[in-house]
Amino acid sequence: MSQNSLVSVLIPCYNCEEYVEEAVMSIIKQTYSNLEILVIDDGSTDNTGNILKMLAKEDPRIIYIKNEENLKLIATLNKGLNLCKGKYIARMDADDISLPTRIEKQVNFLEAHPEIGIVGTYIQIFGVRESIWKMDTKDKYIRAHLFCNSSFAHPSVMMRTSILRDNHLYYNTDYPHAEDYKLWCDIAQYTKLANIPEVLLFYRINENQVSNKYNKEQKETAQRIREEYINDFLAERNVPIRFIAQNTINDIQKLKHYIKERYILDKLLLVWYDSLENGKEIFKRLITSTDILNLGIKNTSRIFFRKVIKKR
């Protein structure tokens, strides 16, 4: 295994004294050792800073950075991106645990696949609930999944620094609480995407996470990202339909004339269906009524919609 390529591991930290030592130690103990570990204390008011300074004294690869005031996550991440010196940037959260071979396997993957600019991994969720999150692994399916939601577990990703630098890509402050999802959509314009089909990170779920504290704002931001990403895709294909949550059944049905890939149609349908508060009622009327569409179109629509919506 070659360790010539420097990897920058970026770990924003805020009031995480309970978990941060375990998280950083999981990076220190990686089988891949050519690392710089940037730990950014975003104005913590607990013992986080002292723990990070202690760890920095014990391992010279750790670079301790302190924000004099709480800049919040997006600004802290962007500050970190500017400071990273490695060929690759690996993300890591201060309450998660990377398995020992994570960095090694991601570096080897990117070295072997120069067309790939970002690679994530499967994750083991633990904490208030437990499960394994298995993402799509192939580029075309990852892109299709971006119509619905993030295709990566944020703290599991490793990115080519050159993709970010060459295209001036950062986390966008206009998309709070879903900034990672927006970044993946932006990166997808310039490179291929992948996930390694192996659990290489333990992802902690707790009650203080963004998805719990800012659930409503996160959903609204994610919906805006979906519609922008989908409409960019439709425009590139010269599809004369603008995708919004208020599209009618007939609007969605027309997509079949322009998009032949079933896996793409399925994702678009799921986004549209999930966007409607009365989605289940719409589907019920679609497959039972005769006053919405004529029988021929209704039967076609039944086939088109049923398998996808049954997944909900």
pLDDT tens by residue, 111-160: 999 999 999 999 999 988 889 999 999 999 999 999 999 999 999 999 99
Sign of CA dihedral 268, 231, 146, 222: negative
**Other CB atoms within 10 A of residue 269 CB:** 19
> Is residue 238 left, alpha or beta, with left meaning phi > 0 and alpha meaning psi from -120 to 50?
left
Sign of CA dihedral 28, 88, 131, 205: positive
Average pLDDT over residues 262-272: 86
- The topology (CATH level 3) of 7-215 is Spore Coat Polysaccharide Biosynthesis Protein SpsA; Chain A (3.90.550)
pTM, two decimals, is: 0.89
Vertex 187, ends 186 and 193: CA angle to 5°? 135
Vertex 46, ends 43 and 47: CA angle to 5°? 105
Residue 53 has pLDDT above 60, yes or no: yes
- What are the structure tokens assigned to 212, written together? 């719990």
Q: How far apart are CA 298 and CA 133, in angstroms?
A: 36
Residue 292: predicted pLDDT: 42
Q: How far apart are CA 187 and CA 178, in angstroms?
A: 15
Q: Which of the residue ranges 32-46, 177-191, 297-311 would you say has the lowest mean pLDDT? A: 297-311
pLDDT digit string, tens, across residues 168-190: 999 999 999 999 999 999 999 99
Those residues whose C-beta lies under 8 Å from the C-beta of residue 261, and which sit 6 or more positions away, are: 144
* In the chain, where the domains are located: 7-215, 240-309
Residue 298: predicted pLDDT: 45
